[in-house]
Amino acid sequence: MSAEEPTSQDSLPAAIDPAASRLIFLAMLGLVAGGLVAFRMLSRPAPPPPPEVARDALLSRGREIFLARCATCHGNEGRGDGPIARNLLGPPVGNLTDDQWKHGDRPDQVIAVIAQGVPNTRMEGWSRVLDPPELRAVAAYVYYLARRPVSEELRKP
């Protein structure tokens, strides 16, 4: 009989109902939380420390720092195969267990690399995050990972 009249539905402005927007917000929060949980589950858990590390306070501290700060790039064993290593721009992370270290193998050289980083690479300087005893501990752990003797210099209080 008559022409179709627009229903009131059609003339509603395209606004989001506050209840719906709350739901969307909660759903997004849920996604982020789910992502974090999945990330934690997927990232390989660190195995317990080997006895020679567990009984050495300096190496134990160094290991904690290494796993928390360095392993994402350097890998749990220092072989340069951390979860984000392949996605980095610039020079590759390198394998700390190789015979040769690019920036020298004296304790002061290793500490300098860790404290100041390497310009134009993704190796940042950690001196603002780690204090000198922490720098020595993580440097000692790098020697341990490379199966090199840990210099007494790094054990100085």
**# of chain residues touching ligand HEC (CB under 6 A):** 23
> What is the nearest approach in angstroms of ligand HEC to the Cβ of residue 41?
21
CA–CA dist 17, 129 (Å, integer)? 46
Looking up tokens 């404290």 gives 115
Using the rule CB under 6 A, which residue among 22, 55, 102, 155 binds ligand HEC?
Answer: 102
Residue 103 sits in the site that holds ligand HEC (CB under 6 A): yes
CB count in 10 Å sphere of residue 87: 8
Residues 76-95 that bind ligand HEC (CB under 6 A): 88, 91, 93-94
CB count in 10 Å sphere of residue 36: 10
Q: Give whichever of 69 and 148 is closer to ligand HEC, judged by the CB atom.
A: 69
- Which of the stretches 4-12, 23-31, 34-42, 113-121 binds ligand HEC when contact is defined by CB under 6 A? 113-121
> What is the nearest approach in angstroms of ligand HEC to the Cβ of residue 71?
8
**Burial of residue 16, with CB atoms counted within 10 A of its CB: 0-12 exposed, 13-18 middle, 19 or more buried:** exposed
CA–CA dist 51, 14 (Å, integer)? 65
Q: Give whichever of 30 and 133 is closer to ligand HEC, judged by the CB atom.
A: 133
Interface pattern 115-154 for ligand HEC (x via CB under 6 A): ---x--xxx--x-----------x---x------------
Joined together, the tokens standing for residue 86 give 């392949």
CB–CB of 81/75 below 8 Å? yes
